[in-house]
Structure 1
Protein backbone atom coordinates (compact mmCIF):
# COMPACT_ATOMS: atom_id res chain seq x y z
CA UNK A 1 0.00 0.00 0.00
CA UNK A 2 1.28 3.47 -0.87
CA UNK A 3 1.90 6.01 1.85
CA UNK A 4 -0.79 8.69 2.01
CA UNK A 5 1.03 11.85 0.98
CA UNK A 6 -0.36 15.35 0.48
CA UNK A 7 2.04 17.48 -1.53
CA UNK A 8 2.15 21.26 -1.64
CA UNK A 9 2.54 23.55 -4.64
CA UNK A 10 2.29 27.30 -5.08
CA UNK A 11 0.08 28.27 -8.02
CA UNK A 12 2.30 29.73 -10.74
CA UNK A 13 5.57 28.39 -9.31
CA UNK A 14 8.10 27.96 -10.80
CA UNK A 15 6.05 29.08 -13.82
CA UNK A 16 2.40 28.64 -14.72
CA UNK A 17 3.12 25.92 -17.30
CA UNK A 18 5.60 24.12 -15.08
CA UNK A 19 3.16 24.24 -12.19
CA UNK A 20 0.55 22.38 -14.25
CA UNK A 21 3.17 19.83 -15.26
CA UNK A 22 4.08 19.45 -11.61
CA UNK A 23 0.46 18.72 -10.67
CA UNK A 24 0.32 15.89 -13.21
CA UNK A 25 3.72 14.64 -12.10
CA UNK A 26 2.42 14.43 -8.54
CA UNK A 27 -0.67 12.58 -9.72
CA UNK A 28 1.52 10.10 -11.60
CA UNK A 29 3.62 9.61 -8.47
CA UNK A 30 0.51 8.50 -6.61
CA UNK A 31 -0.05 11.27 -4.07
CA UNK A 32 -3.25 11.12 -2.03
CA UNK A 33 -4.02 14.83 -2.43
CA UNK A 34 -2.42 18.11 -3.50
CA UNK A 35 -2.49 21.36 -1.57
CA UNK A 36 -2.46 24.30 -3.99
CA UNK A 37 -1.44 27.56 -2.36
CA UNK A 38 -2.73 30.90 -3.62
CA UNK A 39 0.43 33.06 -3.67
CA UNK A 40 0.50 35.89 -1.15
CA UNK A 41 2.99 38.65 -0.34
CA UNK A 42 2.92 38.03 3.42
CA UNK A 43 2.59 34.27 4.04
CA UNK A 44 3.16 34.46 7.79
CA UNK A 45 2.81 30.72 8.47
CA UNK A 46 5.50 29.87 5.92
CA UNK A 47 9.25 29.68 6.21
CA UNK A 48 11.81 31.17 3.79
CA UNK A 49 11.58 28.39 1.17
CA UNK A 50 7.86 28.77 0.56
CA UNK A 51 8.01 32.55 1.02
CA UNK A 52 10.51 32.77 -1.83
CA UNK A 53 8.31 30.56 -4.02
CA UNK A 54 5.37 32.87 -3.27
CA UNK A 55 7.43 35.86 -4.38
CA UNK A 56 8.36 34.12 -7.64
CA UNK A 57 4.72 33.20 -8.34
CA UNK A 58 3.61 36.77 -7.68
CA UNK A 59 6.38 37.96 -9.98
CA UNK A 60 4.81 35.73 -12.62
CA UNK A 61 1.61 37.80 -12.18
CA UNK A 62 -0.27 34.92 -10.54
CA UNK A 63 -3.47 36.19 -8.93
CA UNK A 64 -6.28 34.47 -7.07
CA UNK A 65 -8.41 34.30 -10.23
CA UNK A 66 -5.48 33.02 -12.30
CA UNK A 67 -4.82 30.39 -9.63
CA UNK A 68 -8.36 29.09 -10.04
CA UNK A 69 -7.95 29.08 -13.82
CA UNK A 70 -4.74 27.07 -13.46
CA UNK A 71 -6.60 24.46 -11.42
CA UNK A 72 -9.55 24.47 -13.83
CA UNK A 73 -7.30 23.94 -16.86
CA UNK A 74 -5.59 21.09 -15.05
CA UNK A 75 -8.96 19.47 -14.39
CA UNK A 76 -9.90 19.83 -18.06
CA UNK A 77 -6.62 18.14 -18.99
CA UNK A 78 -7.43 15.15 -16.79
CA UNK A 79 -6.20 15.92 -13.27
CA UNK A 80 -8.34 13.85 -10.89
CA UNK A 81 -6.31 13.97 -7.67
CA UNK A 82 -8.17 15.67 -4.79
CA UNK A 83 -7.12 19.30 -4.39
CA UNK A 84 -7.20 21.40 -1.25
CA UNK A 85 -6.69 25.12 -1.74
CA UNK A 86 -4.48 26.78 0.85
CA UNK A 87 -5.01 30.52 1.09
CA UNK A 88 -4.41 33.23 3.61
CA UNK A 89 -7.53 34.98 4.86
CA UNK A 90 -6.62 38.29 3.25
CA UNK A 91 -6.71 36.77 -0.25
CA UNK A 92 -9.95 34.92 0.44
CA UNK A 93 -11.88 37.88 1.86
CA UNK A 94 -10.63 40.26 -0.82
CA UNK A 95 -11.88 37.85 -3.48
CA UNK A 96 -15.16 37.38 -1.61
CA UNK A 97 -16.24 34.31 0.34
CA UNK A 98 -19.06 33.37 -2.02
CA UNK A 99 -16.95 33.91 -5.14
CA UNK A 100 -14.09 31.90 -3.64
CA UNK A 101 -16.39 28.97 -2.84
CA UNK A 102 -18.09 29.18 -6.25
CA UNK A 103 -14.73 29.01 -8.01
CA UNK A 104 -13.62 26.17 -5.76
CA UNK A 105 -16.71 24.17 -6.69
CA UNK A 106 -16.20 24.93 -10.41
CA UNK A 107 -12.66 23.58 -10.13
CA UNK A 108 -13.80 20.47 -8.23
CA UNK A 109 -11.79 21.46 -5.16
CA UNK A 110 -12.28 19.16 -2.19
CA UNK A 111 -11.60 21.66 0.56
CA UNK A 112 -10.03 24.88 1.82
CA UNK A 113 -7.19 25.34 4.31
CA UNK A 114 -6.88 28.85 5.78
CA UNK A 115 -3.96 28.75 8.27
CA UNK A 116 -4.35 32.27 9.68
CA UNK A 117 -8.09 31.99 10.33
CA UNK A 118 -8.72 30.52 13.83
CA UNK A 119 -11.33 27.79 13.69
CA UNK A 120 -13.18 29.28 16.66
CA UNK A 121 -13.46 32.79 15.17
CA UNK A 122 -16.72 34.31 13.83
CA UNK A 123 -15.07 34.74 10.41
CA UNK A 124 -14.29 31.03 10.27
CA UNK A 125 -17.89 30.16 11.11
CA UNK A 126 -19.11 32.49 8.36
CA UNK A 127 -16.78 30.80 5.88
CA UNK A 128 -17.79 27.34 7.10
CA UNK A 129 -21.46 28.09 6.45
CA UNK A 130 -20.72 29.14 2.87
CA UNK A 131 -18.42 26.17 2.28
CA UNK A 132 -21.15 23.79 3.40
CA UNK A 133 -23.60 25.49 1.03
CA UNK A 134 -21.25 24.71 -1.87
CA UNK A 135 -20.24 21.23 -0.72
CA UNK A 136 -16.66 22.29 0.06
CA UNK A 137 -14.77 21.08 3.12
CA UNK A 138 -13.21 23.66 5.43
CA UNK A 139 -10.19 22.11 7.12
CA UNK A 140 -9.24 23.54 10.53
CA UNK A 141 -5.54 23.94 11.32
CA UNK A 142 -4.60 22.69 14.80
CA UNK A 143 -1.27 23.17 16.56
CA UNK A 144 0.45 21.58 19.58
CA UNK A 145 -0.08 23.44 22.82
CA UNK A 146 -3.57 24.65 21.99
CA UNK A 147 -5.95 24.53 24.94
CA UNK A 148 -8.23 21.45 24.92
CA UNK A 149 -11.12 23.78 25.77
CA UNK A 150 -10.83 25.29 22.28
CA UNK A 151 -11.47 21.88 20.74
CA UNK A 152 -14.41 21.33 23.05
CA UNK A 153 -16.02 24.55 21.78
CA UNK A 154 -15.84 23.45 18.15
CA UNK A 155 -17.73 20.51 16.73
CA UNK A 156 -15.14 18.56 14.76
CA UNK A 157 -17.24 15.42 14.50
CA UNK A 158 -18.50 16.42 11.04
CA UNK A 159 -14.96 16.99 9.73
CA UNK A 160 -13.54 14.61 7.11
CA UNK A 161 -10.01 16.01 7.54
CA UNK A 162 -8.07 17.90 10.19
CA UNK A 163 -4.71 19.55 9.53
CA UNK A 164 -2.15 19.31 12.32
CA UNK A 165 1.13 21.17 12.46
CA UNK A 166 3.95 19.21 14.09
CA UNK A 167 5.15 22.35 15.84
CA UNK A 168 4.10 25.91 16.51
CA UNK A 169 5.42 28.61 14.22
CA UNK A 170 6.31 28.50 10.52
CA UNK A 171 6.82 25.80 7.91
CA UNK A 172 10.22 24.43 7.01
CA UNK A 173 11.35 23.42 10.49
CA UNK A 174 12.54 19.92 11.36
CA UNK A 175 9.86 17.33 12.14
CA UNK A 176 9.14 17.35 15.87
CA UNK A 177 6.93 14.66 17.38
CA UNK A 178 6.82 15.70 21.01
CA UNK A 179 4.59 15.29 24.04
CA UNK A 180 2.45 18.30 23.12
CA UNK A 181 1.72 16.89 19.68
CA UNK A 182 0.97 13.40 21.00
CA UNK A 183 -1.45 14.84 23.55
CA UNK A 184 -3.25 16.76 20.82
CA UNK A 185 -3.51 13.67 18.62
CA UNK A 186 -4.85 11.60 21.53
CA UNK A 187 -7.45 14.26 22.33
CA UNK A 188 -8.59 14.47 18.71
CA UNK A 189 -8.77 10.70 18.29
CA UNK A 190 -11.00 10.53 21.37
CA UNK A 191 -13.62 12.87 19.92
CA UNK A 192 -13.34 12.56 16.13
CA UNK A 193 -12.97 9.94 13.41
CA UNK A 194 -11.61 12.50 10.92
CA UNK A 195 -8.44 11.76 9.00
CA UNK A 196 -5.43 13.61 10.41
CA UNK A 197 -2.97 15.28 8.05
CA UNK A 198 0.35 16.15 9.69
CA UNK A 199 2.59 18.85 8.24
CA UNK A 200 5.67 20.99 8.99
CA UNK A 201 9.14 19.48 8.74
CA UNK A 202 8.40 16.28 6.82
CA UNK A 203 11.07 15.75 4.16
CA UNK A 204 12.47 12.22 4.14
CA UNK A 205 11.02 8.70 3.92
CA UNK A 206 11.91 8.31 7.61
CA UNK A 207 9.98 11.48 8.40
CA UNK A 208 6.98 10.09 6.52
CA UNK A 209 7.23 6.83 8.46
CA UNK A 210 7.28 8.71 11.77
CA UNK A 211 4.40 10.97 10.76
CA UNK A 212 2.18 8.11 9.64
CA UNK A 213 2.56 6.38 12.99
CA UNK A 214 0.38 9.07 14.54
CA UNK A 215 -1.42 10.62 11.55
CA UNK A 216 -3.20 9.32 8.44
CA UNK A 217 -1.62 11.66 5.88
CA UNK A 218 1.87 13.20 5.70
CA UNK A 219 2.03 16.70 4.20
CA UNK A 220 5.18 17.60 2.24
CA UNK A 221 5.61 21.32 1.62
CA UNK A 222 9.05 22.91 1.86
CA UNK A 223 10.71 19.61 0.94
CA UNK A 224 9.00 19.58 -2.47
CA UNK A 225 9.92 23.20 -3.19
CA UNK A 226 13.55 22.57 -2.23
CA UNK A 227 13.78 19.63 -4.63
CA UNK A 228 12.19 21.65 -7.44
CA UNK A 229 14.86 24.31 -6.92
CA UNK A 230 17.68 21.81 -7.36
CA UNK A 231 16.24 19.04 -9.54
CA UNK A 232 13.28 20.53 -11.37
CA UNK A 233 10.07 18.63 -12.02
CA UNK A 234 11.89 15.37 -12.81
CA UNK A 235 13.69 15.56 -9.49
CA UNK A 236 10.44 16.33 -7.68
CA UNK A 237 8.74 13.36 -9.35
CA UNK A 238 11.46 10.96 -8.20
CA UNK A 239 11.45 12.48 -4.73
CA UNK A 240 7.69 12.13 -4.32
CA UNK A 241 7.75 8.54 -5.56
CA UNK A 242 10.21 7.72 -2.81
CA UNK A 243 7.94 9.31 -0.22
CA UNK A 244 4.77 7.57 -1.43
CA UNK A 245 6.59 4.25 -1.59
CA UNK A 246 6.06 3.92 -5.35
CA UNK A 247 9.77 3.21 -5.75
CA UNK A 248 12.71 2.38 -3.57
CA UNK A 249 15.21 5.03 -2.54
Structure 2
Protein backbone atom coordinates (compact mmCIF):
# COMPACT_ATOMS: atom_id res chain seq x y z
CA UNK A 1 0.00 0.00 0.00
CA UNK A 2 1.35 3.39 -0.97
CA UNK A 3 2.01 5.89 1.82
CA UNK A 4 -0.58 8.62 2.21
CA UNK A 5 0.54 12.05 0.96
CA UNK A 6 0.43 14.84 3.55
CA UNK A 7 -1.95 17.53 2.34
CA UNK A 8 -2.34 21.13 3.47
CA UNK A 9 -5.60 22.40 2.00
CA UNK A 10 -6.63 26.03 1.67
CA UNK A 11 -10.03 27.30 2.73
CA UNK A 12 -11.41 30.87 2.75
CA UNK A 13 -13.19 31.52 6.05
CA UNK A 14 -16.89 32.08 5.51
CA UNK A 15 -16.99 31.17 1.80
CA UNK A 16 -19.58 30.98 0.39
CA UNK A 17 -21.30 30.89 3.81
CA UNK A 18 -20.04 29.82 7.20
CA UNK A 19 -22.14 26.65 7.02
CA UNK A 20 -20.93 25.64 3.57
CA UNK A 21 -17.35 26.52 4.52
CA UNK A 22 -17.72 24.21 7.51
CA UNK A 23 -19.02 21.47 5.20
CA UNK A 24 -15.97 21.99 2.99
CA UNK A 25 -13.68 21.74 6.03
CA UNK A 26 -15.32 18.46 7.04
CA UNK A 27 -14.92 17.17 3.49
CA UNK A 28 -11.22 18.09 3.51
CA UNK A 29 -10.66 16.35 6.84
CA UNK A 30 -12.64 13.28 5.74
CA UNK A 31 -10.58 13.27 2.54
CA UNK A 32 -7.38 13.03 4.54
CA UNK A 33 -6.10 16.62 4.80
CA UNK A 34 -3.61 16.86 7.66
CA UNK A 35 -3.54 20.66 7.80
CA UNK A 36 -6.19 23.27 7.10
CA UNK A 37 -4.82 26.60 5.89
CA UNK A 38 -7.68 28.98 6.62
CA UNK A 39 -7.54 32.40 4.98
CA UNK A 40 -9.04 35.51 6.51
CA UNK A 41 -10.58 37.38 3.56
CA UNK A 42 -8.65 40.45 2.49
CA UNK A 43 -9.56 43.11 -0.07
CA UNK A 44 -6.14 43.67 -1.66
CA UNK A 45 -4.23 40.37 -1.85
CA UNK A 46 -0.84 40.16 -3.54
CA UNK A 47 -0.62 36.44 -4.28
CA UNK A 48 -4.18 35.16 -4.70
CA UNK A 49 -5.46 34.14 -8.09
CA UNK A 50 -8.97 34.83 -9.41
CA UNK A 51 -10.68 31.93 -7.60
CA UNK A 52 -9.46 32.87 -4.13
CA UNK A 53 -9.72 36.62 -4.73
CA UNK A 54 -13.30 36.22 -5.91
CA UNK A 55 -14.14 34.12 -2.85
CA UNK A 56 -12.64 36.75 -0.53
CA UNK A 57 -14.63 39.52 -2.22
CA UNK A 58 -17.90 37.59 -1.81
CA UNK A 59 -17.29 37.10 1.90
CA UNK A 60 -16.27 40.72 2.45
CA UNK A 61 -19.50 41.91 0.80
CA UNK A 62 -21.32 40.38 3.78
CA UNK A 63 -19.40 42.66 6.16
CA UNK A 64 -17.25 39.77 7.37
CA UNK A 65 -14.69 40.88 9.96
CA UNK A 66 -11.57 39.40 11.53
CA UNK A 67 -13.59 38.38 14.60
CA UNK A 68 -15.94 36.40 12.35
CA UNK A 69 -13.02 34.60 10.74
CA UNK A 70 -11.49 33.74 14.13
CA UNK A 71 -14.87 32.48 15.37
CA UNK A 72 -15.06 30.24 12.29
CA UNK A 73 -11.54 28.95 12.96
CA UNK A 74 -12.45 28.21 16.58
CA UNK A 75 -15.45 26.21 15.41
CA UNK A 76 -13.24 24.20 13.04
CA UNK A 77 -10.67 23.59 15.79
CA UNK A 78 -13.32 22.37 18.23
CA UNK A 79 -14.84 20.06 15.62
CA UNK A 80 -11.52 18.64 14.38
CA UNK A 81 -8.97 19.04 17.20
CA UNK A 82 -6.66 16.49 15.59
CA UNK A 83 -6.09 18.71 12.53
CA UNK A 84 -3.49 21.49 12.52
CA UNK A 85 -4.79 24.92 11.53
CA UNK A 86 -2.65 27.61 9.92
CA UNK A 87 -4.08 31.09 9.55
CA UNK A 88 -3.23 32.76 6.26
CA UNK A 89 -3.75 36.47 5.67
CA UNK A 90 -1.91 39.69 4.89
CA UNK A 91 0.19 42.02 6.99
CA UNK A 92 -2.23 44.89 7.52
CA UNK A 93 -4.89 42.65 9.08
CA UNK A 94 -2.33 41.39 11.57
CA UNK A 95 -0.50 44.68 12.14
CA UNK A 96 -3.48 47.02 12.58
CA UNK A 97 -4.82 45.52 15.84
CA UNK A 98 -1.26 44.97 17.09
CA UNK A 99 0.68 41.84 16.23
CA UNK A 100 0.93 40.59 19.83
CA UNK A 101 -2.79 41.09 20.31
CA UNK A 102 -3.65 39.42 17.02
CA UNK A 103 -1.43 36.39 17.74
CA UNK A 104 -2.96 35.97 21.18
CA UNK A 105 -6.46 35.98 19.68
CA UNK A 106 -5.44 33.57 16.92
CA UNK A 107 -3.87 31.11 19.35
CA UNK A 108 -6.93 31.15 21.60
CA UNK A 109 -9.03 30.30 18.51
CA UNK A 110 -6.99 27.15 17.88
CA UNK A 111 -4.43 28.41 15.35
CA UNK A 112 -1.12 26.51 15.26
CA UNK A 113 0.77 28.69 12.81
CA UNK A 114 0.67 31.87 10.76
CA UNK A 115 1.30 32.36 7.03
CA UNK A 116 1.55 36.05 6.16
CA UNK A 117 3.12 36.30 2.67
CA UNK A 118 3.75 40.05 2.66
CA UNK A 119 5.66 40.15 5.96
CA UNK A 120 9.27 39.25 5.00
CA UNK A 121 10.99 36.72 7.25
CA UNK A 122 13.66 39.22 8.35
CA UNK A 123 11.37 42.26 8.69
CA UNK A 124 8.27 40.67 10.15
CA UNK A 125 7.28 43.41 12.64
CA UNK A 126 7.71 40.95 15.53
CA UNK A 127 5.46 38.22 14.12
CA UNK A 128 7.88 35.33 14.74
CA UNK A 129 8.41 36.36 18.37
CA UNK A 130 4.68 36.87 18.97
CA UNK A 131 3.94 33.45 17.48
CA UNK A 132 6.47 31.79 19.81
CA UNK A 133 4.98 33.57 22.83
CA UNK A 134 1.61 32.05 21.96
CA UNK A 135 2.71 28.52 21.09
CA UNK A 136 2.45 29.00 17.34
CA UNK A 137 4.94 29.02 14.47
CA UNK A 138 5.50 31.71 11.88
CA UNK A 139 5.81 30.10 8.45
CA UNK A 140 7.60 32.43 6.02
CA UNK A 141 6.95 32.21 2.29
CA UNK A 142 9.77 31.64 -0.20
CA UNK A 143 9.51 32.16 -3.97
CA UNK A 144 11.82 31.17 -6.85
CA UNK A 145 12.29 34.87 -7.63
CA UNK A 146 14.33 35.33 -4.43
CA UNK A 147 18.04 35.95 -4.96
CA UNK A 148 20.39 33.06 -4.11
CA UNK A 149 21.77 35.07 -1.20
CA UNK A 150 18.33 35.77 0.25
CA UNK A 151 17.25 32.16 -0.26
CA UNK A 152 20.35 30.99 1.62
CA UNK A 153 19.63 33.48 4.42
CA UNK A 154 16.07 32.19 4.81
CA UNK A 155 17.21 28.57 4.73
CA UNK A 156 19.63 29.28 7.55
CA UNK A 157 17.27 31.36 9.68
CA UNK A 158 16.07 28.45 11.80
CA UNK A 159 12.36 28.42 10.92
CA UNK A 160 10.74 25.02 11.68
CA UNK A 161 8.70 25.29 8.47
CA UNK A 162 8.93 27.27 5.25
CA UNK A 163 6.16 27.61 2.65
CA UNK A 164 7.67 27.23 -0.80
CA UNK A 165 5.63 28.94 -3.52
CA UNK A 166 6.75 26.76 -6.40
CA UNK A 167 6.68 29.50 -9.00
CA UNK A 168 6.33 33.26 -9.21
CA UNK A 169 3.01 34.99 -9.88
CA UNK A 170 -0.41 34.20 -8.46
CA UNK A 171 -2.08 31.00 -7.32
CA UNK A 172 -4.53 29.00 -9.35
CA UNK A 173 -2.75 28.07 -12.57
CA UNK A 174 -1.02 24.76 -13.13
CA UNK A 175 2.51 24.22 -11.88
CA UNK A 176 4.93 21.76 -13.46
CA UNK A 177 7.08 19.85 -10.99
CA UNK A 178 10.44 20.12 -12.75
CA UNK A 179 14.08 19.57 -11.77
CA UNK A 180 14.26 23.32 -11.20
CA UNK A 181 11.34 23.08 -8.77
CA UNK A 182 13.01 20.29 -6.81
CA UNK A 183 16.32 22.19 -6.74
CA UNK A 184 14.54 25.22 -5.26
CA UNK A 185 13.02 23.05 -2.52
CA UNK A 186 16.35 21.39 -1.74
CA UNK A 187 18.03 24.78 -1.29
CA UNK A 188 15.37 25.73 1.25
CA UNK A 189 15.80 22.45 3.12
CA UNK A 190 19.54 22.89 3.63
CA UNK A 191 19.14 24.68 6.96
CA UNK A 192 16.86 22.00 8.40
CA UNK A 193 13.47 23.62 7.80
CA UNK A 194 10.64 21.35 6.74
CA UNK A 195 9.01 22.54 3.53
CA UNK A 196 5.38 22.96 2.56
CA UNK A 197 5.14 23.19 -1.23
CA UNK A 198 2.30 24.54 -3.32
CA UNK A 199 0.96 27.03 -5.89
CA UNK A 200 -1.08 25.55 -8.70
CA UNK A 201 -1.37 21.98 -7.39
CA UNK A 202 -4.61 20.46 -8.64
CA UNK A 203 -4.00 16.81 -9.57
CA UNK A 204 -2.92 13.60 -7.93
CA UNK A 205 -0.10 13.32 -10.46
CA UNK A 206 1.36 16.68 -9.37
CA UNK A 207 0.88 15.82 -5.72
CA UNK A 208 2.65 12.47 -6.07
CA UNK A 209 5.56 14.06 -7.95
CA UNK A 210 6.02 16.63 -5.20
CA UNK A 211 5.29 14.58 -2.09
CA UNK A 212 8.71 12.99 -1.65
CA UNK A 213 10.38 16.39 -1.45
CA UNK A 214 8.10 18.25 0.99
CA UNK A 215 6.57 17.88 4.43
CA UNK A 216 3.14 18.50 2.88
CA UNK A 217 1.70 19.33 -0.50
CA UNK A 218 -0.35 22.54 -0.51
CA UNK A 219 -3.50 22.91 -2.63
CA UNK A 220 -5.84 25.86 -2.57
CA UNK A 221 -7.47 27.26 -5.69
CA UNK A 222 -8.59 23.81 -6.83
CA UNK A 223 -10.73 23.47 -3.70
CA UNK A 224 -12.08 27.03 -3.89
CA UNK A 225 -13.16 26.39 -7.49
CA UNK A 226 -14.93 23.17 -6.46
CA UNK A 227 -16.70 24.98 -3.64
CA UNK A 228 -17.82 27.70 -6.07
CA UNK A 229 -19.04 25.18 -8.64
CA UNK A 230 -21.05 23.20 -6.07
CA UNK A 231 -22.29 25.99 -3.79
CA UNK A 232 -25.93 25.26 -4.60
CA UNK A 233 -25.80 21.78 -3.06
CA UNK A 234 -24.22 20.97 0.29
CA UNK A 235 -24.08 17.27 -0.57
CA UNK A 236 -22.45 17.86 -3.96
CA UNK A 237 -19.97 20.31 -2.43
CA UNK A 238 -19.00 17.81 0.27
CA UNK A 239 -18.50 14.98 -2.20
CA UNK A 240 -16.53 17.03 -4.75
CA UNK A 241 -14.16 18.46 -2.15
CA UNK A 242 -13.69 15.12 -0.39
CA UNK A 243 -12.99 13.30 -3.67
CA UNK A 244 -10.35 15.86 -4.68
CA UNK A 245 -8.72 15.60 -1.24
CA UNK A 246 -8.65 11.81 -1.58
CA UNK A 247 -7.02 12.21 -5.00
CA UNK A 248 -4.35 14.61 -3.73
CA UNK A 249 -3.54 12.44 -0.71
CA UNK A 250 -3.31 9.34 -2.91
CA UNK A 251 -6.09 7.66 -0.93
CA UNK A 252 -8.44 7.12 -3.86
CA UNK A 253 -6.46 4.24 -5.35
Considering the TM-score relative to the shorter chain, is it more than 0.5? yes
SS of 1:177's partner is coil
Structure 1 residue runs of 5 or longer lacking an equivalent are none
Report how many aligned residue pairs link the two structures.
245
State the superposition RMSD in angstroms: 1.8
Q: 2:128 — aligned with what?
A: 128
TM-superposed CA distance for 1:37, in Å, is 0.2
Question: Is residue 176 from structure 1 mapped to residue 181 from structure 2 by the alignment?
Answer: no
Contact kept in structure 1, 2:164 and 2:196, CA below 8 Å: yes
TM-score (norm 2): 0.90
Structure 2 residue runs of 5 or longer lacking an equivalent are 231-236
TM-superposed CA distance for 1:49, in Å, is 0.8
TM-superposed CA distance for 1:133, in Å, is 1.2
SS of 1:236's partner is helix
Q: 2:165 — aligned with what?
A: 165
Q: 1:243 — aligned with what?
A: 248
Separation in structure 1 between the aligned mates of residue 89 and residue 15 of structure 2, nearest angstrom: 15
Separation in structure 2 between the aligned mates of residue 215 and residue 105 of structure 1, nearest angstrom: 25
Separation in structure 2 between the aligned mates of residue 6 and residue 165 of structure 1, nearest angstrom: 13
Q: Deviations for 1:175-209, whole angstroms, at most 9, x for unmatched residues?
A: 133455333222222222x2211111100001101
Q: Pick closer, same or farther for the CA change 1:74–1:189 going to 2, 3 Å.
A: closer
Q: Pick closer, same or farther for the CA change 1:183–1:242 going to 2, 3 Å.
A: closer
Separation in structure 1 between the aligned mates of residue 221 and residue 66 of structure 2, nearest angstrom: 21
SS of 1:247's partner is coil
TM-score (norm 1): 0.91
Q: Deviations for 1:9-61, whole angstroms, at most 9, x for unmatched residues?
A: 00000101111222222112111101000001111211111110101111233
Question: Is residue 3 from structure 1 mapped to residue 10 from structure 2 by the alignment?
Answer: no
